[in-house]
Chain A
Amino acid sequence: MSDFTRADVCAVAIAETFRGDGEILASPIGILPMIGVRLAKLTFEPDLLMTDGVASLLGSVPPVGVAATEAVVEGWMPYRLVFDVVWSGRRHVMMGATQIDRYGNQNIACIGPFERPKAQLLGMRGAPGNTINHPTSYWVPNHGPKSFVPKVDVVSGVGYDRAAALGARAARFHSIRRVVSNLGVFDFETPDHRMRLVSVHPGTTVEQVVANTGFELSIPASVPETRTPTGEELRLIREVIDPKSLRLQEVKA
């Protein structure tokens, strides 16, 4: 089973961002994040907690995009309890980012000036509270100079430069783990927490990533390829987690 798609590679890369998290609430926003968290849960991270996207904690791993009528429910998690979990820190969220910059500042609020935006987006949602309280990762399915920008128009999710300005104590729960895009995997493991290229997906080059990024990335001398899915992971993705192939709507084959 070597005929994997780019979407399958992204699912594995997303699953990897949750490795080692243990018994916390994993909150994936978007189709590929939902697939990746399920994959982590079914393989190396079985203790993760996950909701059905409404108010139930799932005790089983139902496929994405299918009404979870057969799913086992192991708990109740309405929004106000989610907020409690956010502020208690026992959570790792993977959000989207309309814009993200080199320090991991994220914008989902609006494009253009806040006072009169060119495009109003979702709003701040939970991004400010998430990023200052618990680990956050990002999923960007359309990596390009308009999404990876030198400066975000509005800071919804707090990046490392903003966190540093707050001081070590105020920012002690701040952690941007990883950014996964349709081109590669990124982290902030550099002296001043600038974004670093961790790996490029098979079929992508470092040059391609650089050309599609609107700021200077930290690039190690040698950049590996993103881990490819194992046969068992491919089986889980195709047969158990995403039998309707919704992942191909978010990342084209």
Chain B
Amino acid sequence: MDKRTTIREAVAGLRDGMTIGIGGWGSRRKPMALVREMLRSPLKDLTIVSYGGPDVGLLCAAGKVRKVVYGFVSLDSIPLEPHFRAARQNGTIEAVELDEGMLQWGLYAASLRLPFLPTRAGLGSDVLKVNPHLRLVKSPYDDGEELVAVPAIPLDVALIHMNRADARGNGQFLGPDPFFDDLFCMAARRRIMTCEKIVATEELLREGSVHTLKINRMMTDAVIETPRGAHFTECPPDYGRDEAFQKEYAASAAEPEAWKAFKARYLELGSEDEYQKAVAAR
């Protein structure tokens, strides 16, 4: 089966109001080419589930988001995400703020088709207060311990970016951390994977051991080659974070005029190709 497609076609399949999980972590290996295509689309009222970085910030700034489910939103080398902060402080989004491990548990529960998974994380903290939908569960065994029942977080769509993939939808991470991309895929009904490079299946082990083949083709529906598609987040070993660009992004968020100029220069373009050309021309 050949799952290759384009970001335009993939994003055209998304609908208003969907719950969309985005892989990566902070400003690391984010499927930014897909996020940028979403910015060009008329999509709205989305629920975004993410270990958040500029994916969350950009979608909030563009008014695409109704609700964010997150453990944090950060640009790593710049601790706070300016557009996400603005959205929170202006009250334009609904926030489901969880402990990082609880978010993993919610995705894992969804991927295992379980209603919830128990954990100690959250007990005693305001995670329970600011998320009144969370409930406790009592151990049925002799210990009788009360734990947080993290509800499954099923996704309509998962978006991930890998270093390599084949046309059938097997994916490979070559950097140090797979993050939770496999869980995002397993928790979702439709799974879209971009990658730096599509290679022949028999070439997958050329650059990494079998342990790097974290995404198998049962976990994906669409594959798209998007070179530098995680820009400006990092995608090692292919490239590091574009710190200069990230600084420009964060600085422009502080000034409406500067943000308008940033958008005109990099975001209000016709395609991912034009974005990459605008970045290269800096």
Contacts and interface: CB of A to CB of B under 8 A. Distances in A.
B123 interface: yes
B232 interface: no
A114 B130 contact: yes
Kindly state the interface size class of chain B when it binds its partner. 35 or more
Contacts of A87: 101, 119-121
Most chain A beta-carbon contacts within 10 A, residue among B97, B101, B129 = B101
B91 interface: yes
A94 to B, nearest CB: 16
Interface string B54-94: 00000000000000001111100001100011001101000
Given A117-B88, A169-B145, A170-B145, A128 B97 contact: no
B24 to A, nearest CB: 11
Interface string A117-143: 111111111111101110000000000
B60 to A, nearest CB: 11
A78 B101 contact: no
**A80, A123, A131: which has the most chain B beta carbons within 10 Å?**
A123
A54 B177 contact: yes
A123 B97 contact: yes
B98 A124 contact: yes
Nearest to B92: A116
B72 A124 contact: yes
Q: Which of B95, B122, B126, B127 has the most CB of A within 10 A?
A: B126
Contacts of B91: 115-116
Contacts of A78: 176-179
Interface in A136-181: 154-158, 162-163, 165-166, 169-171, 173-174
Interface residues of A, number: 44
B100 A132 contact: no
Nearest to B87: A120
A81 to B, nearest CB: 10
Interface string B99-111: 1111010000000
B88 A110 contact: yes
A170 B123 contact: yes
Contacts, number: 135
Contact of B72 (A56, A122, A170): A122
Nearest to B52: A123
A55 B177 contact: yes
Contacts of A171: 123-124
A86 interface: yes
Given A87-B119, A124-B71, A163-B124, A129 B101 contact: yes
A55 to B, nearest CB: 4
A77 to B, nearest CB: 9
A43 to B, nearest CB: 29
A127 B126 contact: no
A4 interface: no
Given A117-B89, A120-B85, A125-B72, A79 B25 contact: yes
Nearest to A114: B130
Contacts of A158: 123-125
A12 interface: no
Given A120-B89, A127-B125, A56 B120 contact: no
A131 B177 contact: no
B77 to A, nearest CB: 11
Given A87-B101, A87-B119, A116-B91, A123 B125 contact: no
Interface string B108-140: 000000000001111111110110000000000
12 contacts: A80-B179, A80-B180, A114-B97, A114-B129, A116-B88, A118-B89, A120-B89, A124-B97, A128-B122, A129-B99, A155-B126, A170-B120
Interface of A: 54-56, 78-80, 83, 86-87, 109-110, 114-129, 131-133, 154-158, 162-163, 165-166, 169-171, 173-174
Interface of B: 25, 52, 70-74, 79-80, 84-85, 88-89, 91, 95, 97-102, 104, 119-127, 129-130, 143, 145-146, 176-180
Given A109-B97, A122-B74, A169-B145, 11 more contacts: A79-B177, A86-B101, A87-B121, A122-B73, A123-B73, A127-B125, A129-B100, A129-B122, A132-B123, A133-B120, A170-B145
